[in-house]
């Protein structure tokens, strides 16, 4: 990772010094939360016309990677909540503007269609429960997918598949279900949430597709799946890079008890494993950003992301995650019991990495 980090050193320090406490407490520290809002990170993908910052996607992805390299829970929460803020580009402008005008606006949510929306008048009656809303405690609005029904019967699209629609709703009609108990990303507080029989106007339903975008900027012509892959992969890779840095420090302090009692870092196989992990991560990272920058340039110039480009971006994102898994799993055995101690920084990063990399989109292919 280049030394020209998009994350200011002072901000990195503020995030890092509260990471252990946030992990113990199960939610981001107030200093971390305040920094997130002060820097506008949750608005950075929303349209300028409705109160967002509409930053270029490659800049956002590099920033998210940099935050995740400092603290996985902060990086993941920023990425998932800023990503939900991107949906403002697909909402009616009056609704998007009202949402972003909310003090300390934050959107959290889930992509799983584990609820139903029944047509009622000029809106929908919502009922369902959804898992994994990262940042749930500070969310002012929640997003989710729901299957559509009318008069109790499912609605179908032109291909005969059940119709599904994305929704955004205010926190007032949502009940948080606190059951986030994963070993890592503890401070994301990615709790479940439910809506029980609440009515919302039809404006609260939206379609995530460039053809349905309400905002006209290039961000909203970028397809959802490539968008999701690049933001999630950058987070996982940032956590892996952090682990490699901490592993190198652990290895430098240890000695090879089964050889000549020399420093472990001087054992050729260990040095090769460390250098190889770094080289592979750097190689994939360079190719990943070269492609992302090229795709973004095409979209910013008025074009679109071709299917072949989208497939290549997905493949590179998965290759970066695979390199990250290889790096972490290869170096962990050399780090000693400190890496297994729940109170150590390296263990927290290890737990965060292995939780984030379980995301369904990042499942190993083949």
Residue 3's pLDDT is what?
A: 53
CA–CA distance, 238 with 353 (Å, rounded to integer): 9
Structural domain includes residue 140: yes
Residue 1: pLDDT band (50, 70, 90) is very low
Structural domain includes residue 321: yes
Tens digits of per-residue pLDDT, 241-275? Answer: 999 999 999 999 998 877 677 899 999 999 999 99
Structural domain includes residue 216: no
Residue 257's pLDDT is what?
A: 74
Q: Give the CA count within 13 Å in the CB-facing half-sphere of 88.
A: 33
Phi-psi region of 40 (alpha: psi -120 to 50; beta: other; left: phi over 0): left
Residue 16 to residues 19, 116, 229, 349, Cα–Cα distance (Å):
5, 40, 26, 12
Tens digits of per-residue pLDDT, 84-119? Answer: 999 999 999 999 999 999 999 999 999 999 999 999
Of the residues 75, 100, 125, the one at which a domain ends: 100
Structural domain includes residue 89: yes
- Together in a domain, 342 and 278: yes
Overall number of domains in the chain:
3
Tens digits of per-residue pLDDT, 278-336? Answer: 999 999 999 999 999 999 999 999 999 999 999 999 999 999 999 999 999 999 999 99
Residue 364's pLDDT is what?
A: 87
Tens digits of per-residue pLDDT, 337-354? Answer: 999 999 999 999 999 999
- Please state the pTM of the whole predicted model: 0.96
Helices 9-17 and 30-38, axial angle in degrees (round to 10):
150
CA–CA distance, 273 with 265 (Å, rounded to integer): 10
Q: CATH no. for residue 22?
A: 1.10.540.10
CA–CA distance, 134 with 20 (Å, rounded to integer): 18
- Together in a domain, 112 and 191: yes
- Tell me the residue ranges of DSSP E strands in 205-318: 205-206
- Together in a domain, 236 and 151: no
CB crowding 195-232: b at 16 or more within 10 Å, else e: beeeebeeebbbebebeebbbebbbbbbbbbbbbbbbb
- Together in a domain, 171 and 199: yes
Residue 325's pLDDT is what?
A: 98
- Together in a domain, 111 and 157: yes
Structural domain includes residue 215: no
User: Over the chain, what is the mean pLDDT?
Assistant: 96
Q: CATH no. for residue 145?
A: 2.40.110.10
């Amino acid at each position: 990772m280049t030394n020209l980090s998009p994350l200011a050193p002072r901000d990195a320090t503020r995030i890092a010094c509260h990471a252990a406490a946030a992990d113990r407490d199960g939610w981001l520290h107030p200093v971390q939360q305040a920094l997130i809002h002060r820097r506008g990170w949750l608005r950075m993908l929303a349209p300028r016309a409705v109160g967002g910052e509409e930053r270029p996607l490659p800049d956002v992805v590099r920033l998210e990677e940099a935050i995740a390299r400092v603290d996985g829970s902060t990086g993941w929460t920023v990425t998932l909540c800023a990503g939900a803020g991107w949906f403002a580009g697909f909402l009616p402008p009056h609704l998007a503007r009202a949402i972003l005008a909310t003090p300390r606006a934050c959107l959290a949510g889930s992509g799983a269609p584990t609820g139903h929306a029944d047509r009622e008048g000029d809106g929908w009656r919502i009922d369902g429960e959804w898992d994994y809303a990262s940042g749930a405690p500070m969310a002012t609005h929640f997003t989710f997918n729901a299957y559509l029904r009318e008069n109790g019967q499912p609605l179908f699209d032109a291909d005969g598949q059940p119709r599904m629609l994305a929704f955004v709703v205010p926190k007032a009609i949502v009940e948080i279900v606190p059951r986030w108990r994963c070993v890592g990303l503890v401070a994301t507080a990615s709790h479940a949430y439910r809506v029980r029989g609440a009515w919302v106007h039809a404006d609260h339903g939206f379609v995530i597709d460039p053809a349905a975008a309400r905002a006209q900027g290039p961000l909203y012509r970028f397809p959802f799946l490539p968008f999701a892959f690049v933001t999630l992969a950058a987070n996982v890779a940032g956590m892996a890079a952090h682990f490699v840095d901490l592993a190198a420090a652990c290895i430098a302090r240890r000695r090879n008890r089964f050889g000549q009692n020399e420093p472990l870092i001087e054992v050729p196989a260990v040095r090769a494993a460390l250098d190889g992990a770094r080289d592979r991560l750097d190689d994939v990272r360079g190719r990943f950003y070269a492609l992302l920058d090229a795709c973004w340039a095409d979209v910013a110039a008025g074009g679109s992301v071709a299917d072949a480009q989208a497939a290549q971006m997905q493949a590179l994102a998965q290759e970066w995650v695979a390199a990250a898994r290889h790096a972490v799993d290869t170096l962990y055995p050399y780090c000693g019991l400190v890496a297994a101690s729940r109170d150590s920084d390296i263990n927290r990063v290890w737990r965060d990495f292995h939780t984030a990399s379980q995301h369904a989109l990042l499942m190993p292919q083949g």
